[in-house]
Amino acid sequence: MLLKFSADNDKVLEIQPSYCTADRVILCVQSVNCIRMTELEKALSGEQFSRRDGEVVAFQNRVKDLCFEFNTTIPSSPRRGEILRELVTGYNQYVFVESGFQCIMGKNIHFKGMAFVNLNCTFLDSNIIIIGHCALIGPGCSLICTNHAIDPVERLKGGFNDRPITIGENVWLGANVTVLPGVTIGDRAVIGAGSVVTHDIPADTIAVGNPCRVMRPISERDREYYYKDRKMLCQGRSGRICIFPSLP
């Protein structure tokens, strides 16, 4: 026997390096202190989970219904805000999401303050997606945590390797950017339109291409010129990067 549980069946008294259970994965909190998690709990905490679990399927069906209702509700209706509050984590009055938005779990999307998500964006949040304070997500962007198994047999069995995505503070993703599993985009980075981001992008840089590569750092000159020798017509407020409050 690889595991020995306490009388109330919620703590592991003995554990060996290699272990498993028949129906529930054991999440180790400490070396000898584990708790049982449902597939849905795993799905909403960044762990690998079964897509075929009944509770997960029901949850995802509810998310699909909410996305459909959001996208077919009049933009000026307060109902859209109510839907987003139920759908995602960290929704507040400074989160702006345009029509055409799609996701698969919803609650795995964590907004950390103000954010703008433009038209027709898709977030495959099978793992955690962090959207930093004052992030701007351009139209048609895709944030993809889902990663199928490479081997076709394992893929058909339902093998996944979902990985989280982090979009830093004040990041700007241009139109139709695709961010792939496991990527972190550093604070204040700018990603050019149409880029496919396959690896981490450092803070304070401009990166473009497929695969996306850093072109140059963002400098003080970018405060005055928005493109080559073209000057800004209107500059921001006295050095403040973002005028909206952030969340913990």
* Of 118, 121, 112, 103, nearest in space to 44 by CA: 103
* Of 214, 215, 148, nearest in space to 180 by CA: 148
- DSSP conformational letter for 201: B
- Cα–Cα distance list, 47 to 40, 61, 142 (Å): 10, 20, 21
The rounded distance, in Å, linking the Cα atoms of 201 and 191 is: 9
Known catalytic residue at 199: no
At residue 57, the 3 state secondary structure works out as helix
- Are residues 178 and 142 in contact, defined by beta-carbon separation less than 8 angstroms? yes
- Cα–Cα distance list, 241 to 9, 63, 136, 171, 192 (Å): 51, 34, 13, 11, 20
Of the candidates 110, 133, 148, 199, the residue annotated as catalytic is 148
Residues designated catalytic? 148
